[in-house]
Amino acid sequence: MPNNKNVKKEDPQGDPARDELNQLRQIVFGKAEQQLNNRISSTRSDLEKALNVQNDNINQRFNSFQQTIDQRFEALEQRLSLSDKTHDDNDTSIQNDLANLASEQEMFATSTLQDFKNIEQSLDNESNALSNNFNEQIEQLKSHLDEVSKELSSSKTDRKTLAKLLSTMATNLEDDQL
């Protein structure tokens, strides 16, 4: 099938044989050529439409995919931000707890040191009081012993009575020291 586009047009008063040949071609092949050209145009149009539909479909899918990726990145960023905030809050809480514990430990150490000093002073006072009390009792017992001894020597009591008396006094001294 010859292509009319490639046919060189000559001047309008051209060769009558050639015009006749062209007319015969048009008569014989004209309808088939026209149908073929129409089919080619239709196929081309259908192909362009299909490509446009496919391109639109790909663009929609790409946009959808991009939106999904953006949403997932946003969700991950939110989770990461929440995790960072939780970590920061925990770190702050731990730092505050540590500072509070250090302060409490310092107060406890100071209080304990003061309590130990108070207890030591109280024990010293108690010890001194007990020592003074024992010394007074010993002095009283000595003076009582001296009185009894003088009384016994003046009354000339026998030695058994004196031994019993001294034994009783020793027992009383032991009981007082306990």
Domain boundaries, the chain: 18-177
Q: Which two tokens stand for residue 109?
A: 């150490």
Give the residue ranges of DSSP H helices in 4-15. none
Whether the pLDDT of residue 147 is over 60: the answer is: yes
Mean pLDDT on 115-137: 90
Residues 35-50 have a mean pLDDT of 92
Residue 156, SS3 per DSSP = coil
Work out the pLDDT band at 149, boundaries 50, 70, 90: confident
pLDDT over 90 (residue 69): yes
Higher local confidence (pLDDT), 7 or 162: 162
User: Do the Cβ atoms of 169 and 141 come closer than 8 Å?
Assistant: yes
As a whole number, mean pLDDT of residues 147-174 equals 77
Q: What is the pLDDT of residue 1?
A: 44
d(CA 38, CA 44): 10
Distance CA 60, CA 110 (A): 74
CA distance 99 to 91: 12
What is d(CA 33, CA 7) in angstroms, rounded to the nearest whole number? 15
- Provide the pLDDT for residue 74: 95
